[in-house]
A and B are shown apart, each in its own frame.
Chain A
Amino acid sequence: MTRLVVVSAGLSVPSSTRLLAERLAEATVEALEDVEVTHVELRDLAHQLTDQLLTGFPAPELAAAETAVREADGLIVVTPVFSASYSGLFKTFFDVLETGTLDGKPVLVAATAGTARHSLVLEHALRPLFAYLRAVVVPTGVFAATEDFAGTDLDARVVRAAGELALLIGKVSPVDGGGTRRRTVEDELAEPTPFDQLLRRASGR
């Protein structure tokens, strides 16, 4: 069973961001067999995200979303473009994730905006963000301006990006992907690094 998590940061109901997220999810499900899809709608978690910024821990619904992302085999992330970048709400979700959560995880990045002039936001904002978080971003990002929802080009791009994500998910499980994943707090709690190793590491020996 493959676990796919779709994070979308649209604010209106219904939202074109959510619409794009669903089309990407459908296309990815078609390309993979036996997929469980979890939608994380950040609008519903906006208050809890602010609370976590202030208190340092997530309320139950947000904690469930963070766990889903940590355990996902692949992610689709979709943001509206606000002031030439991802929205603050979108960024906040990735700010509060524990270090190492996205290490080696296949991610498809997508964005929506009122005009195609924002299309490079995927390259200058989202791709660097997920590179920093050590995720593996698929080559095709999907940008949809309002006018794209009337054309046929968007679908071709959606299918291409979803195929790339499916390929990546199928090839590498983020858990055993090359041994480069950072150990998270959850890893340490489950299987602590023995103290003699901590001592050697402390002294750089």
Chain B
Amino acid sequence: MQFGIFTVGDVTADPTTGRTPSEHERIKATVAIAKKAEEVGLDVFATGEHHNPPFIASNPTATLAYIGAQTERIILSTATTLITTTDPVLIAEDYAKIQHLTDGRVDLMMGRGNTGPVYPWFGKDIRDGINLAVENYALLRRLWDEEVVTWEGKYRTPLQGYTSTPRPMDGVAPFVWHGSIRSPEIAEQAAYYGDGFFHNHIFWPAGHTKQMVDLYRRRFEHYGHGSADQAIVGLGGQFFMRKNSQDAINEFRPYFDNAPVYGHGPSLEDFTEATPLTVGSPQQILERTLGFRDYVGHYQRQLFLVDHAGLPLKTVLEQLDLLGELLPELRKGMAEGRPAHVPDAPTHASRVAAAGGAHDSTVHAVDDVTGTTDREEISA
């Protein structure tokens, strides 16, 4: 079982002080948060992708590579990578490159993105969202799994004899999760490929999460990747914790009341009851989190949102310290009653082992007819 954090990189005013951090501060804070996540023993750091204010989450690959260079162990991931508006040829290159740079410490999560104007900004149409996710990912899969790709589709220019470089490290592509809140087609897609399925979970009632995870598990088994309880499931989560639960509620309420997504709507009490948000003591966070299994079964990855709604960096780092202290109990709790046949989340090492060991998949442009490389021809 992996535990980690995910961020959307929002630049939001702190409602208790009225102060808004600069983009520079927020970008640096994101790096500090990721490094802290590794320090307290978390397994995953994932960043979102946005191409509009008030977010600093554009160019996730630069962010992840930069963090990768300053960390040693933590898995770098996305939440989410926009498979609809990003050219799958670039995704194939970028994440294979990060894979090499970080020695395999990368996976990624595909998402469609729900900011309407981003689609036309990148020459796409939001009404094609599902179709774009389906076609673009099908191409991405081939670019990673096949050395030479000849392809023609609806949404990008055709490829003739194209080789994506660098080739995936050790001949094994990064593991892929597919994230969706309420599009059954995406759960179906994840199941078809035997990829992971991630439900954002936060901001939504448990019933939504359960329906989507149930569908994914059922179809994972249908497509022959294993039994339903062996499907690879990830969930989001959201908490604010203090040793004393009333302190947590008092401190978090102004952030909740003014938060970009759910602020000025339901009360903190109603929202914590209706969604996974938990505001309280470490024991309360522990019990609520362990309870997620009641409706999704034993799962593989739990990511928490800790750095939104204008919470200052200092507070976020304190939250991570508290999460780190809670980790041994979270791990112990999640291990209880977990059947042996339920797999862990795939890692680079486990995927290499499953592929029968590492092999160098570098493509040395050898001419099929003459047996010479480009370089030899030029020098000849």
Residue pair B215, A203 in contact (C-beta under 8 Å): no
Q: Which of A59, A185, A198 contacts B274 (CB 8 A)?
A: A59
Q: Which residues of B contact A204 (CB under 8 A)?
A: 154
Binary contact track B206-245/A, C-beta < 8 Å → 1, others 0: 0010011011000100010000000000000000000000
**Which of A50, A192, A201 is packed against the most chain B CB atoms within 10 Å?**
A192
* A189 and B135 alpha carbons, distance in the complex (Å): 21
Q: B134 is contacted by which of A55, A57, A188, A198 (Cβ under 8 Å)? A: A198
Nearest A residue (CB) for B138: A199
A-B contact pairs, 15 of them (CB 8 A): A51-B266, A54-B264, A55-B261, A55-B271, A57-B205, A59-B270, A188-B188, A192-B185, A192-B219, A194-B188, A195-B191, A195-B223, A198-B189, A203-B131, A203-B154
Alpha-carbon distance between A201 and B188 when the two chains are bound, in angstroms: 14
Closest chain A CB from B127 CB (angstroms): 12
A195-B131 contact given A54-B265, A59-B270, A59-B274, CB 8 Å threshold = no
Q: Answer whether A188 and B270 are a contact pair too, CB < 8 Å, given A50-B265, A54-B262, A54-B264.
A: no
Q: In the assembled complex, which residues on chain A have CB atoms less than 8 Å from the CB atom of B357?
A: none
Nearest CB in chain B to that of A183: its residue: B184
Q: Check if A55 sits within 8 Å of B203, measured CB to CB.
A: yes
Q: CB-CB < 8 A to A185: which residues of B?
A: 182-184
Query: Once the chains bind, are A203 and B185 in contact (CB under 8 Å)?
Result: no
B185 in contact with A189 (CB, 8 Å): no
Which residues of A sit under 8 angstroms from B205, Cβ to Cβ? 57
A46-93 residues at the B interface, CB under 8 angstroms: 50-51, 54-57, 59
Nearest chain-A residue to B218 (Cβ)? A192
> Is B54 interfacial (CB 8 A cutoff)?
no
State A57–B270 Cα separation when bound (angstroms).
13
> Count of A-B contacts with CB under 8 A?
72
Contacting pair A57 B204 (CB below 8 A): yes
Residues of A within 8 A of B153 (CB): 202-203
| Cα(A195)–Cα(B138), bound, Å | 11
Query: Is there a chain B Cβ closer than 8 Å to A193's Cβ?
Result: yes
> How far is B264's CA from A183's CA once the two chains are assembled, in angstroms?
33
How far does the alpha carbon of A193 sit from the alpha carbon of B131 in the complex, in Å?
A: 13
Q: Mark B124-149, 1 if CB is under 8 A from A, else 0.
A: 00000011101100100000000000
B63 to A: closest C-beta gap in Å = 28
- The answer on a CB contact under 8 Å between B265 and A55 is yes
Bound state CA distance, A204 and B262, in angstroms? 37
B317: interface (CB < 8 Å): no
B55 within 8 A of A: no
Smallest CB-CB A-B distances: 9 pairs: A54-B265, A188-B184, A195-B192, A202-B134, A202-B131, A202-B135, A192-B188, A51-B266, A51-B265
Contact assessment for A202 and B264 in the assembled complex, using a CB-CB cutoff below 8 Å: no
Complex partner residue of A192 from B134, B208, B215, CB under 8 angstroms: B215
Q: How far is the CA of A54 from the CA of B266 in the complex (A)?
A: 8
Assuming the contacts A189-B211, A198-B134, A203-B135, asked whether A59 and B185 have C-beta atoms less than 8 A apart, the reply is: no
Q: Kindly state the separation between the CA atoms of A18 and B116 in the bound complex, as whole angstroms.
A: 39
Q: Which residues of chain B from 176 to 197 have a CB within 8 Å of any chain A CB?
A: 182-185, 187-189, 191-192
- Does the CB pair A55–B215 fall under 8 Å? no
Residues of chain A with a CB closer than 8 A to B211's CB? 189
Do the beta carbons of B262 and A193 come within 8 Å of each other?
no
Contact call A192/B264, Cβ cutoff below 8 A: no
